[in-house]
A and B are shown apart, each in its own frame.
Chain A
Amino acid sequence: MTLDALNYWVSFILMMIGFFGIVSSGNLLKKLICLTIFQVSALLFYISVGYVKGAAAPIIKDVIIDYVNPLPHVLMLTAIVVGVASMAVGLAITVRIKEEYGTIEEDEIAELDFKKHKRESKKK
């Protein structure tokens, strides 16, 4: 293992951090933040794939030099948009949950749901 692969290691470590956060945190907002970290690791991964050592940014100049592969950047631009969109929906849902339940802690929500469920089945 050399430092060449450092980017990939970092991206996978980030990914695991995000993943761990999603699973372990009970707060919906924290979950979303970790989800973003998780997604961003994929961005880093792509950029590393497209990177060429010592090459310039892919903008046309008069002097021809090595460019890094622009395609992953373009792809990631789209991926960022997708990420932002899902983040927006996630935040909106979180706001609505806060309004309906009065909390965004997962265990409290589960408890409220359970109570409601019990009430419903008792009514029957």
Chain B
Amino acid sequence: MIFANLPVLLVIIPLIAAAICTVLPWKHSPWALATFATFASFLCICKIVVQIYAGSTIIYPMGGWLAPYGIEYRIDKLSAIFLLLISGVASFAIVYGMPATQKEVAENKQKFFYAIYLLCFSGLLGVLATNDIFNIYVFLEISSIATYALVAMGKDRRALVASFEYLILGTIGATFFLIAIGLVYSMTGSLNISDIAIKIRPVVNTIPIKMACAFFTVGLALKIGIFPLHLWLTNSYTNAPTFVSSFLSGTTTKVGVYILIRITYGVFGHDFSYIDLPLGQILILLGSVGILVASTAAILQNNVKRMLAYSSVAQIGYIILGIGMANVPGASGAIIQAIFHGVSKAAMFMAAGAIMLSVKGVRLEHFEGIGRRMPLTITAFIISGLSLVGIPGTAGFIAKWYLLQAAIASGMWTVFAVIIISSLLTLTYVWKIIEVAFFEHMDAGRGSVNEAPLIMLIPMLGLSFITIIFGVWPVYMTGYVSQIVTALFGG
């Protein structure tokens, strides 16, 4: 009986836990509860994914009101894989986050910290689970508002400014999204995504729908952090608490990507968005320029966290490229890239955070000689870094492979060149860290620097091994993704 309610349980478990978190009196109990809730959601999702892998889409009408009148939760293959990503990264991150948060967040604020985290988590899952477009907006805002608060809890006062910036841009993005929903609603009279997808067909070539498409894209571009709108991303990832940056880097932007795919492919249809409208060209242009500029910027950074943030912008560029090319390998590449960028970037932020905690700094010179003192941490960092580069044997390679295939299929040789060149740029900045970590000697004045505690090591090593496992045995993943993509392209 309870299994029938899994789609909604996965959202409300963190929500309820968040409420309880704020009143828990004992020291580690908020963390324990947050961990429990995260894992509970994760297990629900695992169960759902098993069901979905067998081939069924799960539909859950809220309160028993059927769509299109009621709000409907609908989990198909596309949302399932993103659900798995979000909850997986969150499970690893929350385990990792305990010691880091202990040091970075004041004792009396910790329960709110975890409560806000749970709200954010619940919001992200809600976006993925629901099939109601207005509900997506609400959940998106729940998670975003929670994110602003989380970022503002950073130790440095620059975190506040970053968070404010993020708030302004995020809210603008959300309002654009809201207006787009209004336009679509006024033309179709429905808020249910599957329903809209049908009702939009006769009116698809009207001006309001085109406007809606534009508003959606701009709004989501702000949320995702697509190249010229990425300023908030770099600042907030750099200054947020360690746990938050590792959690956010793996999740929030990926949810934005999910919505973009869901709406442009699933609702408007890929031929309308990317062929009738010049959206494809715009995304490809922004993606390519973004990849090159952000990778170069990442090379020039001295602060490793900021370098990782710029690298995120560049990696998002790949996703956008894949989406913009709007063909089967492109979309597959975009999805795989979104998933594994999430996984490996989370691991990298975790490793950088662990190093920051033991060396008390995150600039390049703090990494000197880390390779000897914290070998496992740096291993996790390197493996994930190599996955970003796209070395064969890591999941990043599979994503690049698909993207290159897509570039060939659509005959875009510039894109092809951009992908190749940028993987070299990526290698350069990853290599910079490896070199410093292994071939410089640590300052004697650093004192004792020890390996990170086990509770931090296991999550980051776990995440980095996931990239290897799926890089070496990609067949299940690629098979699953190709099913998603065929469904998106209406096969």
Contact = CB atoms under 8 A, between A and B. Distances in A.
Nearest to A12: B179
B160 A97 contact: yes
Nearest to B157: A100
B365 interface: yes
Contact of B172 (A22, A71, A85, A92): A22
Interface string B433-446: 00000000000000
A45 B167 contact: no
Contacts of A72: 182, 185
B141 A31 contact: no
Nearest to B135: A78
B175 A89 contact: no
A89 B185 contact: no
A96 B191 CA distance: 39
B138 interface: yes
Of the candidates A22, A75, A93, A109, the one having the most CB atoms from chain B within 10 angstroms of its own CB is A93
A86 B143 CA distance: 11
A107 interface: no
Contacts of B182: 42, 45-46, 49, 72
A75 B164 contact: no
Given A46-B182, A90-B164, A124 B141 contact: no
Nearest to B141: A82
Contacts of A109: 161
Contacts of A38: 171-172, 175
Contacts of B191: 71
A89 B191 CA distance: 28
A100 B138 CA distance: 32
A102 to B, nearest CB: 11
B145 A89 contact: yes
A35 B148 CA distance: 15
B163 interface: yes
A20 interface: no
A93 B179 contact: no
Given A46-B182, A89-B167, A90-B167, A75 B134 contact: yes
A14 B175 CA distance: 13
Contacts of A113: 158, 161
A4 B163 CA distance: 41
B179 A124 contact: no
Given A22-B168, A28-B164, A45 B145 contact: no
Interface string A74-102: 01001100100110011011101100110
Contacts of B224: none
A92 B138 CA distance: 21
A72 B157 CA distance: 40
Given A85-B141, A86-B171, A89-B148, A124 B363 contact: yes
A112 to B, nearest CB: 9
Contacts of A49: 182, 185-186
Interface string B238-252: 000000000000000
Contacts of B171: 35, 38-39, 86, 90
Contact of B168 (A31, A75, A85, A97): A31
A96 B66 CA distance: 46
A82 B161 contact: no
B256 to A, nearest CB: 17
12 contacts: A15-B179, A42-B179, A45-B182, A75-B134, A86-B144, A89-B145, A89-B152, A93-B160, A94-B164, A97-B157, A109-B161, A113-B161
Given A78-B138, A82-B145, 9 more contacts: A19-B172, A22-B172, A35-B171, A45-B182, A49-B186, A82-B141, A85-B141, A100-B160, A124-B363
Interface of B: 134, 137-138, 141, 144-145, 148-149, 152, 157-158, 160-161, 163-164, 167-168, 170-172, 174-175, 178-179, 182, 185-186, 191, 363, 365
Nearest 6 CB-CB pairings of A with B: A100-B157, A49-B186, A82-B141, A42-B178, A97-B160, A93-B164
